[in-house]
């Protein structure tokens, strides 16, 4: 019987030096398995924090899974540059160094912008009940748990930044508008412009990385769509000026309700015709 090849130890894998890891462990002795909703929710906020950090560093990368283990609810990812397809170890190093400084001092790290620190804060405060969450790189010995001290230090660091409302800020959300212009099909910078109904002279520049969204762009061109993703706002402006799009929903080009069907639904006040009624609404009488 041929000998089975031994798998390399986790600490010896080549990708360890380029990767970051998230591990969840339950503290409930009666139920050793991690709840799937807890894992996916925590992983989503962890990944959002990584993506925000990378974007604020000006790094156009994708995050690839290099290790995934069910037994310990461990996921390991590495940033890969979109243009070259090569790992971005410098980004991993900056993230790690920044986390260490924040946890040790409670002060913002130089590489963490307010947006990146806000995403980190959201992640560390999402630890599920009766669950131990650890983060680090590919080396098991270098993973450290998210504790009350970690949360306190991150909170202290975030509080030292001025309120985001006084400057540009980023928010996860949705906005609707007319898909007016397809700027670029370049794989490194796919973009289009969204014309907002209430601010047609201020189009939103939208970028996206998921090539599959091109189907929705084709269907929705010159029509109304709803985009969802990271929306960036300027101070004092109610509408975003750029968006990192994650999802596109094409809206119907014709209304589902015929205007004729609305006739008769509203009963006018006695002794008042429709013209007088509309004027009264206009003049707030």
Asked if residue 250 has pLDDT above 60, the reply is yes
Nearest CA to 104 out of 177, 173, 154 is that of: 154
Instruction: Compute the average pLDDT of residues 2-8.
Output: 42
Q: For the stretch 132-164, what's the b/e string if a residue is b when 16 or more beta carbons lie within 10 angstroms of its beta carbon?
A: ebbbbbbebeebeebeeebeebbeebbeebeee
Give the C-alpha separation, 232 to 247, whole Å: 16
Distance in angstroms (rounded) separating the CA atoms of residues 52 and 56? 6
- Record the tokens describing residue 132, joined without a space: 């131990």
- Residues 185-194 have a mean pLDDT of 76
Res. 9 pLDDT band, cuts 50 70 90: very low
Q: Which fold has domain 169-250?
A: OB fold (Dihydrolipoamide Acetyltransferase, E2P) (2.40.50)
pLDDT of 10 reads 41
CA distance 183 to 35: 43
Beta strands in 51-137 (DSSP E): 61-69, 74-81, 131-137
CA 219 to chain centre: 25
Q: Where are the beta strands (DSSP E) in the chain?
A: 20-26, 61-69, 74-81, 131-137, 144-145, 169-184, 190-196, 199-208, 224-233, 242-250
pTM above 0.75, yes or no: no
Cα 152–chain centre separation: 23
Distance (Å, whole) CA 19 – CA 65: 9
What are the boundaries of each domain within the chain? 10-161, 169-250
Q: What is the mean pLDDT of residues 104-122?
A: 87
Mean pLDDT of the chain: 80
pLDDT for 13 equals 46
The answer to whether 25 and 42 have CB atoms below 8 angstroms apart is no
Q: Bigger pLDDT: 276 or 204? A: 204
Contact 61, 165 (CB under 8 A): no
At residue 134, φ and ψ (nearest 5 deg) are -125, 145
């Amino acid at each position: 019987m041929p000998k089975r090849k031994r798998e390399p130890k986790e600490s010896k894998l080549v990708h360890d030096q380029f990767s970051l890891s998230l591990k969840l462990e339950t503290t409930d002795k009666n139920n050793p398995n991690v709840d799937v909703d807890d894992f996916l929710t925590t992983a989503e906020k962890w990944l959002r924090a990584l993506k925000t950090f990378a974007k604020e560093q000006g790094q156009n990368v994708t995050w690839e899974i290099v290790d995934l283990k069910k037994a310990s609810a461990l996921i390991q990812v590495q940033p890969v540059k979109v243009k070259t397809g090569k790992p971005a170890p410098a980004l991993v190093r900056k993230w790690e160094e920044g986390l260490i400084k924040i946890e040790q001092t409670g002060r913002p790290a130089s590489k963490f912008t307010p947006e990146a620190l806000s995403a980190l804060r959201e992640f560390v405060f999402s630890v599920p009940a009766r669950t131990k969450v650890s983060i680090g790189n590919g080396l098991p010995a270098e993973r450290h748990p998210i504790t009350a001290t970690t949360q306190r230090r991150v909170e202290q660091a975030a509080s030292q930044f001025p309120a985001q409302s006084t400057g540009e800020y980023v928010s996860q959300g949705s906005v609707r508008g007319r898909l007016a212009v397809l700027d670029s099909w370049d794989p490194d910078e796919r973009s289009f412009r969204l014309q907002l109904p209430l601010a047609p002279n201020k189009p939103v520049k939208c970028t996206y990385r998921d090539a599959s969204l091109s189907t929705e762009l084709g269907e929705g061109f010159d029509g109304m769509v709803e985009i969802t993703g990271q929306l960036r706002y300027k101070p004092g402006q109610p509408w975003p000026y750029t968006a990192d799009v994650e999802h596109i929903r094409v809206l119907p080009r014709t209304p589902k309700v015929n205007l004729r069907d609305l006739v008769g639904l509203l009963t006018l006040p006695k002794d008042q015709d429709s013209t007088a009624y509309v004027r009264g609404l206009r003049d707030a009488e």
